[in-house]
């Protein structure tokens, strides 16, 4: 097909030439559109004209499919549309571009018409253009995706259902699960959650009736229920999904997200899925198992998380990320032997991970191995691990913090502080991080007065930060400044009545010093009402009950605390209750576990000396 500039279009050509000379940036957009219309570059050929007509240069464009009329006037129309758009007339530009798209039936032009309307914030015009595009190309899902995004932006949920239905129906069966499972996150942006849930239910009718997609569709509806806060309906949806398809990863993921709300029943569903032994879907199960461990840690169920990690590393011994998490968790629990074993196993498996993920993982492993060596006072080994970090620049502040701790442990405290102070602070968050890191370093090495000074500087800079006031209060407690600690914690309660850690800290301090025990219990009860699963709050409640002489209640709380978080200080308290109750073997066993966890814990060592016990 031939496009020729004839004398009839000479005026237009002259106008366009003048416009190009004045401003040519928009030509790139049109060039992309025109190049998209053909199979290859245009070929310039002489036009054959009747003898009575003057000859004119011609431009030949090759188009796929049936011939499309693209004459000089249409070419000029496209140029003019772009010119109008650049000159601040988006409405006129959109109309010209959409008219050309409808006449030429080209998806590139429809896309440009939609883009013009969107850039001009003309949502209705953009939607109408996308709808015309979809009518012109009913087999393409791209215009439907545009329609969906535009309707979401316009907050018009009533029109979304049919668009979603068509998107699902058009997708190959292997992709339908991904599309269906993505719907809740997509529609979660709508302000009317009830209407959104109704739209999803309407759109998923066919998917619910199809055995191949029914489980995924139920899980999607359950996720919409979860967004609305209807945890019971969400649980029922997860149950239905896993009843229809026992290996439904979408149903199991919904159960995982229900753990904080429907813990017992949701966890039973999740564990049934994770305990499957068939080879199909094993990788998905292992990834979800790792997410389950992380969720348990978020819920402060450390002991359960450790148990699940052991199971996971047995079922998937080559899952590198599980070993890394195991190493980090064991380090945080101050179990150097198991931590080192897990971290070294991760380093063996890391080459099988994607390069970027492996680099990040190695950095974490080397940082924690350096910390383990530091605890053993093996400074050379700690430094050697830090030097193996593959990308020191990317490790950033975490690496410098570890180096600072290493210097401080070797007595070079001023050098450590200077290293932290030299780190960049491009914003308030980085400035705060530097101050907190320096204060915690000083607190860790017993320089409490200096740490209090740094916390004071931080609070001058960030006066409304409750965490800074809390940490300063705990530092005052370590310094033996109990009156100052209580004043700070009460000020924190006054400013932030929902900051439950303050109630627990003051209540535990009173119980530990055997003072005002009824008040201590009342404070801890307030904290426990906010977070009934926090192991440290459970430990505080057990300890105040012990001080009040309620040994059976003390034993119940402390056992629960130790199950959730195997910690040396909790072991000291639990062992003492067993000891007072005459349960000497149980006491010695718990203390032995505590010493394995942290042989340097001051509370545990003082308890053993005071009771003259030798585990």
CB 64 within 8 A of CB 39: yes
Confirm whether 579 is domain-assigned: no
Q: Are 573 and 543 in contact (CB under 8 A)?
A: yes
Closest Cα partner for 240 from 254, 229, 259? 254
Q: Quick one: DSSP state of residue 350?
A: G
Quote the number of domains for the chain. 1
Phi, psi angle pair for 334, to nearest 5° = 60, 50
CA distance 195 to 161: 11
CATH number of 56's domain: 1.25.40
In a domain, 57, yes or no: yes
SS3 (DSSP) at 613: coil
Report the C-alpha gap between 331 and 385 in whole angstroms. 15
Is residue 37 a part of any domain in this protein? yes
Tokens at residue 112, please?
Answer: 């440009």
pLDDT at 77: 85
The DSSP annotation for 142-177 comes to HHHHHHHHHHHHHT-GGGHHHHHHHHHHHS-HHHHH
Contacts with 393 (C-beta within 8 Å, 6 or more apart), sequence order: none
Q: How far apart are CA 472 and CA 448, in angstroms?
A: 10
User: What pLDDT score was predicted for residue 194?
Assistant: 85
For the four alpha carbons of 54, 58, 64 and 69, in that order, the dihedral sign comes to: negative
Distance CA 502, CA 512 (A): 15
pTM (predicted TM-score): 0.74
Q: Which residues pair with 59 in a beta bridge?
A: 3, 44
Q: What is the DSSP letter of 280?
A: T
Strands 2-4, 43-44: parallel, antiparallel or unpaired by DSSP?
unpaired
Q: Which two tokens stand for residue 310?
A: 């052991």
Question: What range does the domain containing 40 cover?
Answer: 1-154
Tell me what pLDDT residue 366 has.
97
How far, in Å, CA of 99 to CA of 454, rounded? 68
For 474-482, the CB contacts below 8 A with 24+ separation are: 474/505, 475/439, 475/443, 475/448, 475/451, 476/448, 476/452, 477/505, 477/509, 478/443, 478/448, 479/448, 479/449, 479/452, 482/509, 482/513
**Cα(402)–Cα(331) distance, integer angstroms:** 14
Whether the CB-CB separation of 589 and 579 falls below 8 Å is answered with no
From CA 31, how far away is CA 48, in angstroms rounded? 26
Whole-angstrom distance, CA of residue 590 vs CA of residue 611: 14
Residues of the chain short of pLDDT 50, as ranges, are 1-69
In-domain check, residue 336: no
Q: Do the domain assignments include residue 93?
A: yes
Closest CA to 218 of 173, 253, 259, 268: 253
- The structure tokens listed for 137 are 């190309």
Please give the Cα distance from 310 to 324 (Å, whole number). Answer: 12
Alpha helices by DSSP H, 350-427? 355-375, 379-387, 392-409, 413-421
Helix (H) or strand (E) holding 60: strand 58-60
């Amino acid at each position: 097909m031939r496009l020729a500039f004839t004398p009839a279009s000479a005026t237009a050509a002259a106008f366009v030439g003048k416009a190009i000379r004045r401003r040519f940036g928009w030509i790139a957009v049109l060039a992309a559109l025109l190049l998209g219309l053909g199979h290859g570059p245009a070929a310039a050929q002489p036009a054959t004209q009747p003898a009575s007509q003057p000859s004119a240069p011609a431009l030949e464009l090759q188009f796929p499919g049936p011939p499309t009329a693209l004459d000089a006037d249409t070419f000029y129309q496209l140029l003019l549309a772009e010119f109008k758009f650049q000159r601040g007339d988006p409405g006129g530009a959109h109309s010209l571009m959409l008219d050309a798209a409808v006449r030429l039936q080209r998806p590139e032009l429809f896309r440009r018409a939609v883009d013009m309307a969107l850039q001009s914030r003309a949502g209705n015009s953009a939607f109408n253009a996308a709808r015309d595009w979809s009518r012109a190309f009913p087999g393409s899902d791209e215009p439907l995706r545009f329609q969906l995004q535009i309707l979401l932006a316009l907050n018009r949920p009533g029109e979304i259902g049919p668009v979603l239905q068509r998107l699902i129906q058009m997708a190959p069966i292997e992709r339908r699960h991904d599309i269906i499972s993505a719907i809740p996150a997509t529609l979660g942006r709508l302000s009317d959650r009830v209407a959104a849930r109704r739209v999803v239910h309407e759109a998923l009718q066919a998917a619910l009736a199809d055995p191949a997609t029914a489980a995924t569709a139920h899980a999607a509806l359950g996720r919409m229920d979860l967004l609305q806060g209807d945890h019971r309906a969400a649980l029922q949806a997860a149950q239905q999904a896993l009843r229809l398809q026992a290996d439904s990863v979408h149903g199991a993921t919904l159960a995982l997200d229900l753990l904080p709300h429907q813990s017992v029943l949701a966890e039973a569903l999740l564990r049934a899925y994770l305990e499957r032994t068939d080879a199909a879907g094993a990788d998905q199960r292992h990834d979800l198992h790792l997410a389950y461990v992380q969720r348990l840690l978020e819920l402060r169920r450390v002991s359960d998380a450790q148990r699940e990690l052991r199971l996971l590393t047995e079922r998937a011994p080559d899952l590198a990320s599980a070993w890394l998490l195991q190493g980090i968790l064991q380090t945080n629990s101050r179990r150097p032997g198991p931590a080192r074993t897990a971290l070294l196993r991760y380093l063996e498996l890391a080459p099988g991970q994607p390069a970027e993920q492996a680099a990040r993982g190695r950095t974490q492993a080397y940082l924690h191995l350096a910390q383990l060596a530091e605890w053993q006072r093996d400074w050379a080994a700690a430094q050697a691990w830090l030097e193996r970090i593959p990308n020191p620049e990317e490790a950033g502040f975490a690496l410098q913090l570890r180096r600072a701790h290493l210097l401080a442990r070797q007595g070079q405290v001023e050098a450590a502080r200077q290293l932290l102070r030299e780190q960049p602070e491009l914003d308030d968050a980085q400035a705060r991080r530097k101050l907190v890191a320096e204060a915690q370093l000083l607190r860790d090495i017993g320089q409490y007065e200096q740490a209090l000074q740094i916390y004071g500087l931080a609070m001058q800079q960030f006066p409304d930060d409750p965490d800074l006031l809390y940490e300063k209060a705990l530092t005052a407690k370590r310094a033996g400044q109990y009156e100052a600690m209580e004043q700070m914690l009460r000020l924190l309660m006054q400013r932030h009545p929902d900051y439950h850690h303050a109630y627990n800290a003051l209540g535990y301090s009173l119980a530990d010093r055997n003072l005002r025990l009824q008040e201590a219990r009342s404070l801890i009860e307030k904290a426990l009402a906010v977070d009934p699963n926090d192991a440290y709050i459970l430990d505080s409640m057990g300890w105040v009950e012990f001080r009040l002489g309620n040994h059976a209640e003390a034993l119940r709380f402390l056992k629960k605390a130790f199950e959730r978080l195997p910690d040396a200080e909790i072991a000291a308290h639990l062992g003492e209750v067993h000891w007072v109750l005459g349960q000497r073997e149980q006491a010695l066993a718990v203390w032995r576990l505590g010493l394995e966890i942290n042989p340097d814990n001051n509370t545990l060592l003082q308890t053993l000396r005071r009771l003259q016990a030798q585990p």
